[in-house]
Amino acid sequence: MAYGGWGAVGGGAWGGGPGKVEEDEPEVPRPQAPTSNNVAFGANAYSAPAQSSSQPDLATTSQRSQGQSAGNTGGFGNPSGAYGQAAAAPPTPYGGAPSTSFGASSTADPALRRKEAELAAKEKQLKELEAKLTAAGATIQKKNWPICYPILYHDIAGDIPPHARRIVREGYMTWYGLAICLMWNWFCTCVMLGTNANQKVPSWFLGLLYMLLGIPLSWWLWYKRLYNGAKADSALGFVWFFVWFAVHTAFCIWAAIAVPFSANQWSFAGFVTAMSALDKGNFPGTVYLVGAGCWSLLAAWSCWVIMDVFLFFRGKGGVKEAKEQAKKEAAMSVLRGQMASQV
Q: Does 234 or 103 have the greater pLDDT score? A: 234
Is the entire prediction scored with pTM above 0.85? no
CA 103: distance to chain centroid? 32
281 versus 315: the higher-pLDDT residue is 281
Please give the single-letter amino acid code of residue 207.
G
Question: What's the mean pLDDT in 301-321?
Answer: 86
Strand pairing partners for 152?
A: 145
pLDDT at 264: 83
**How far is the C-alpha of 236 from the C-alpha of 229, rounded, in Å?**
7
The mean per-residue pLDDT over the stretch 226-249 comes to 94
State how far the alpha carbon of 3 is from the alpha carbons of 32, 48, 63, 184, 302, in Å. 13, 10, 18, 135, 129
Nearest residue to 60 via CA among 14, 5, 9: 14
pLDDT in tens, 281-304: 999 999 999 999 999 999 999 999
In a 10 Å sphere around its CB, with 0-12 CB exposed, 13-18 middle and 19+ buried, how is residue 240 labelled?
A: middle
Average pLDDT, the chain: 76
What pLDDT, on the 0 to 100 scale, is given for residue 135?
A: 65
Give every CB contact of residue 301 below 8 A, 6+ residues apart in sequence.
173, 174, 177
Task: Report, as an integer, the average pLDDT of 146-166.
Answer: 92
Helix (H/G/I), strand (E/B), else coil: 145? strand
The dihedral formed by the CA atoms of 33, 37, 39 and 44, expressed in degrees to the nearest 10: 40
List pLDDT tens digits, range 5-57: 444 444 444 444 444 444 444 555 555 554 444 444 444 444 444 444 444 44
When mean pLDDT is compared across 119-128, 138-147, 270-279, the lowest value belongs to: 138-147
